[in-house]
Structure 1
Amino acid sequence: MTRSGVHLREITDDNRDAVCALRVRPDQEGFVASVTRSLADAAATPEANPWYRAVYSGDEPVGFVLLSWNVPPGRAGIIGPYFLWRLLIDVHHQGHGFGRVVLTQIADVVRADGATELLTSYQPGDGEPWPFYRQFGFEPTGEIDDGEILLRLDLSGR
């Protein structure tokens, strides 16, 4: 599904409260941290080269995305070079195609920066996001990091 008007926007003092108010369904809280927690994690982990944006539909925030951006090899505990750390679509906006549109935009942005793959991970369990990622084209790498299954999206042929 194509959602016109969906775009990524920097988080500023003017929109921070609205973006931090975004929430997932209660049954998803074990799979994705809140925006507030994500921003704190980003600030506490500068070695991950955190890159984050709010997801907007028109003038309304509908989600949040956080990546490790072009991380040089060898940084202990950091997966990269391009790792989708968080993807959150607000409970009121799920099921409308926003996640797919944003993931397409993220893939395009990191490919434009020279990436040949995008990595992410998920915590297995009832309600896990694996079906979403599988439909998009991610494949398991065979690796597990801190209990999370690592996934890879090949960007070279997209």
Structure 2
Amino acid sequence: MPKGEGKVLAQNKKAHHDYFIEETYEAGMVLQGTEIKSLRAGRVNLQDSYAQVKNGELWLLGLHISPYEQGNRYNHDPLRSRKLLLHKKQILELMGYSKETGYAIIPLKIYLKNGFAKLLVGLGKGKKNYDKREDLKRKEAKREIERAFRDRQKI
């Protein structure tokens, strides 16, 4: 967890399975009133979301934040595009990488920090199927070793 990180509201567990995450950035999010209330209730889905640079600004697309139950007419569109707040230098860096083939800007997790919703964005390079299999083998081997140590300590 990055320093000072608060409660994790949503996490994209599949991102590490599908991408090599090379660098991460902490971004603020421009939200409406009912969106932050839904976020705090944990009613968010990061699965199919991605970020994109448009006109020198970073936008989050495909993030689903469910409408707030008590929001009535003030509710928001669940799949609307949301602006992400980063330094200009970071946005230019991300824009340069995202134009290369194989790179994507992936949201990794949403958390609260000092009362504000933050998004951890990662610069990911797509994995091939054989890379995914290698990772699964490595994970399984690590699990077996830990299991063997645990069983050995019980004796």
TM-score, with length taken from structure 1:
0.26
Instruction: Flag the structure with more relative contact order, 1 or 2, with Cα contacts below 8 A and sequence separation at least 6.
Output: 2
The structure whose residues are more often helix, as a share, is 2
TM-score, with length taken from structure 2:
0.26
